[in-house]
Amino acid sequence: MDKLVIRGGRRISGSVSASGSKNSSLPIIASTLLSGNGTFILHHIPDLQDIKTFTQLLHHLGAETSFSGNTLNVTTGNVTSILAPYELVKKMRASIYVLGPLLARFGHARVSLPGGCAFGPRPIDLHLMAMEKLGARITIETGFIDATAPGGKLHGAHIDFPISSVGATGNALMAASLAEGTTTISNAAAEPEIVTLCHFLTAMGATIRGTGTTELEIEGSQSLNAAEFQNAFDRIEAGTLLAAAAITGGEITVNDVEPEQLKSVLKKFVHAGCTVETTENSVTLKSSGKLIPTDITAKPYPAFPTDMQAQWIALMTQAEGTSHITDKIYHERFNHIPELNRLGANIEIRKNQAVVHGPRTLSGTKVMSTDLRASASLVLAGLVAKGTTEVLRVYHLDRGYEKIEVKLKSLGADISRESYKEF
C-alpha cells in the first residue's frame, strides 16, 4: 500500500496544467456502449484508478480498449454481455453509468448495486426512476438491478427529478439518446460534466436541446456512431491546486482551464484574501498567507462544488477567525475532520456544517484517508503543517488525482510516495 510523505512549510509556486476531468470521463466512456459502430478516440482522459476500473468493466462486457498518452481508444462492436458484476462495480459507484447505455442498446441490463466512497448514503433511486419513466421494468434481488425494456426498446418520456443529480441526469441522457421518441428532463443537473456529456453524445449523432440548462430535450436516435472527442479539464483538480498555493502563501498559474467553470470557487478565494487573475485558458492565484475566514455552502452548479468542500475546510484552518462550511448535497461528508483535528485543527461538526476556528498551527503526524476529497484535504494540511505528515491509504487519492505528488513537487512541495505495510 502507498502513502504520501509530506514535509511541510514549503511555498507552492509555479505553473501547471490541469488534467482531464475524471467526472466527465466516466459517463463519456460509458456512452461508448451506446454504439457498436467503429472505434472511439477519446483525448485528455486522466490516468487514474477509476479510469482503469471502468475500462476493466468494459472489457468484461466485451469491449476493447487501449490507453496511451491520455488518449483512450474504445471499440464496443463485440459487446455482448449485459452483466456488470459486483467484483468490479463495488470498486466505484460510477459503474452505475453502464445501466442506461446497456438498457438502451440491448433492451436489458443487469448491474450490481454499487460501492464507492465511504461517506453517507448515496442512493440510486433517481437513476432507477429515470429508467422506469423511459419504460423499463426494474427489479432488485440478490444485490443486482435487473432492468428490462419491453419489446427491447425504451420510449421517450418526461423525467422530472425532485432534486438535481449529476449521475441520474447523465444516465437519463445516455438512455434517452437511443430511446424511441422525445425525452424531456426537468431539473436536470447543469454541471460542466453534464455539458461535456451532451457535447459527446451530440458528436455521436444524438440531438439534444437545452445543453447547459436545467431543461433538456433529447430526440432519440435509431443508432449512434463512434466519435473522436476532447475531454474537458478537471475543475476540482484545478481548485485543489489553487488551494495548495493559497494555504502556503504561494503563487500559482493553472493552465488549460476554463475560468468560467471555476467562477464560484475563484470568488471565494478572493473573499479569503487571495488575488486572482484569469485569461481565456488560465488562472493565476497569489496568496500572502494571511487568509480571511470565508463561509461557503456547497450546492449544485453553478454554486460552490461539494467536491471542493473538504479542501476549503483545510484552507480555513489557516484563516484568522471562524468560518462555516455547509454541505447541502452530502450531509455526512465530513470524515476528514477528525483527521484534520489530529493535525491540530480546531473544527466542530454541527449536523451538515463544519465550524472552523483559525488560525491553527498544524503539526505533522500520520493521518488516514477515508475518501477521495478527504485525501486531498489532508494533503493540503500536510503542505502547511510543521514537520512530517504521512497520508495513508492514498489509493483513495489515486482514484481522482493524476500524479498529484508529481505536480506538487514540481511546484516546490517536499512530497514523496512511499510503500508501507498496514498492520
Query: Which residues are part of a known binding site for phosphoenolpyruvate?
Result: 22-23
DSSP E strands in 204-286: the ranges are 207-209, 215-219, 228-230, 251-255, 275-278, 282-286
Is 234 in contact with 45 (CB distance < 8 Å)?
no
Distance from C-alpha of 110 to C-alpha of 99, rounded to nearest angstrom = 8
Q: Which three three-digit cell numbers place residue 266? A: 475563484
Dihedral pair phi/psi, residue 365, rounded to 5°:
-160, -175
Residues annotated within the binding site for UDP-N-acetyl-alpha-D-glucosamine are: 93, 122-126, 307, 329
Distance from C-alpha of 327 to C-alpha of 304, rounded to nearest angstrom = 9
Q: Which three three-digit cell numbers place residue 255? A: 493552465
Residue given cell 483559525 in the structure block: 358
**Residues facing 31 on adjacent strands:** none
Residue given cell 503539526 in the structure block: 363
Residues annotated within the binding site are: 22-23, 93, 122-126, 307, 329
Which of these is catalytic: 82, 117, 174, 378? 117
Distance from C-alpha of 309 to C-alpha of 296, rounded to nearest angstrom = 8
DSSP states of 311-377 as a string?
HHHHHHTTBSSEEEEEESS-TT--THHHHHHHTT-EEEEETTEEEEE-----B--EEE--SHHHHHH
Q: How are the residues of the chain apportioned to helix, strand and coil, as percentages rounded to the nearest 5? A: 35, 30, 35
**Residue 117 among the catalytic residues:** yes
Closest by CA to 404, choosing from 2, 1, 4, is 4
Residue given cell 436489458 in the structure block: 108
CA-based torsion, 402, 405, 406, 407: positive or negative: positive
Distance from C-alpha of 108 to C-alpha of 227, rounded to nearest angstrom = 24
Catalytic residues: 117
